[in-house]
Structure 1
């Protein structure tokens, strides 16, 4: 129980420091956070920009004479109440943007992570058992090269090859414009086809990473004394490979699986922007482009929350699945 209390306090501290850094960085960016909304208000209501600025500042909850400390306290208070701010570009709350974009991001990164994990674990274990052969050299070399390719570069290549040239995948979006979402096999199939580009761009480097990690873990476990003892007992190779080697080699990866979901929430930004996929990354990139400080701060904070929560979940999972951690 003391361990969990310490970890919770630690993660809360990490969260507070992270969101504080985000607030400082975003609020020190040049420009007025209310200016974009003020321009829109001035055009719609045919008024002077100074009057529109006053209205815009009231809408997003900032004041020209508000001190840095007052702004920080207000930001933190809103965040702790679940209020992520007000988007000046989209003229709506950040919570509404998160509500409609987060499910798409979760769908893509969950699918990409699960797919990459299953393939990577299998190929990693297979490669370790082929140690010293040409198969191991090919798979390990390709994995090292692919792992180094940024996902957004793969996204551009996939979009150019499969969408522009071969026309096998759609150019972007979660589904065609004008199509009404329905609960049907046809619509679900369309969603999967539109998500395939972002999924591949995210999953391919992840797969390479899982392969190399699983290969290293498996090789290390194969050299343990209990494996030699199992061989001396005359156990079948299939039993040793499955029950003793793979089960022990996969333990660190399962904990890493939860953590990767949190980090991919932020690392998925440019991929979604390239495919025009309406997830968190798409709005994050748009917030940077249009200098929507409130939206940028809110999405940054969401990513931090995602990383903190998944890190805590990963630690709990590791304690549950690894009896050695329980003993310690």
Structure 2
């Protein structure tokens, strides 16, 4: 229990520092965060920009004469109340954008994590069992190359080859515009079809990372004394591989699952933008493009919170599943 309390305190401190960094970074960017909304108001109401800026500031709750420290404490206060801010470009609260986009991102990330982990674990264990052979060399080399390829590069390749050239994948969206959302099998299949592109663009580099990690862990475990003892007892190779080697090699990777989900939440930005997939990453990219400071700050804060919380969960999971680590 003491361990969990200590980690929660540490989590809170890191969270405050990270979110403060996000606030300062965005607020030091040149320009007025209300300018985009002011332009829209000026065009709609046919008024001067000075008047439109005053209205935009009131809508967004911004006082241009306030000091940075006052704005900071109001931002932190709103964040702890669950208010992530206001989007000038979409003219709605960031909470509404998060509510409609986060499920799509979590859906794709969950698929990518499951596929990459299961395939990566199998390939890594298989490569370790074939150490020193051409199979091990091929798997390790290909995995090393793929891991170095950024997800957005894979996204461009997948989009160009399978959507533009072969036309077997949709170009964008979470589902066809002419299909009514429902819980029908047809709609679910359409959603899965649209998620294939961004899912594989995210999963393939992660798959390579899991493969290399599992190969390294398995090779290390195979050198342990208890494995030699099990072999000396005459246990079958399949029993040793499944019960002793694979389980122990997977322990650190299972705990890393939570961290990978958190980091994919942040690294998924360009992938969703390329596929025009309506998740958090798509709106994050849009906020950067149109300089929507309110939306940018809110989504940036959400991503930071997701990564830090995922890291905390991973530490707790590892302490629970590894008998060598005790919660104190």
Question: How far apart are the structure 1 equivalents of 2:45 and 2:251?
Answer: 61
Structure 1 match to 2:94? 94
Higher mean C-alpha deviation, range 48-57 or range 240-249: 48-57
Following superposition, the deviation at residue 310 of structure 1 comes to 1.0
Counterparts of 2:307 and 2:64 in 1: how far apart (Å)?
A: 33
SS at match of 1:25: helix
Residue in structure 1 matched with residue 204 of structure 2 by the alignment: 204
Q: Is the Cα contact below 8 Å between 2:23 and 2:72 reproduced in 1?
A: yes
Q: Does residue 186 of the first structure (1) align with residue 186 of the second (2)?
A: yes
Alpha-carbon shift at residue 178 of structure 1 (Å): 3.3
CA distance in 1, matches of 2:59, 2:264: 32
Ranges in structure 1 where 5+ consecutive residues have no aligned partner:
none
Structure 2: distance between partners of 1:74 and 1:48: 29
Q: Secondary structure at the match of 2:171?
A: coil
Equivalent runs, 1:188-267 vs 2, <5 Å: 188-267=188-267
- Compared with structure 1, are the counterparts of its residues 120 and 42 closer, same or farther at alpha carbon in structure 2 (3 Å cutoff)? same
Q: Deviations over 1:213-260 (max 9, x none)?
A: 000000000000000011111111111001100000000000111110
Structure 1 partner of 2:149: 149
What are the ranges of 5 or more consecutive residues in structure 2 without an aligned counterpart? none
Runs of 4+ in 1 over 3 A off after TM superposition: none
CA contact (8 A) 2:179 2:187 kept: no
- Aligned residue runs from structure 1 range 1-328, under 5 A: 1-326=1-326
Q: What TM-score do the two structures reach when normalised by structure 2?
A: 0.99
Give per-residue Cα distances to partners, 1:156-207, cap 9 Å, x unaligned. Answer: 0000000011011011110112322111000000000000000010000000
1:320 is displaced (CA, Å) by 1.2
TM-score if structure 1 supplies the norm length? 0.99
Contact residue 320 and residue 327 of structure 2 kept, 8 A: no
Greater Cα shift, 79-88 or 46-55: 46-55
Is contact 2:218-2:245 (8 Å) kept? yes
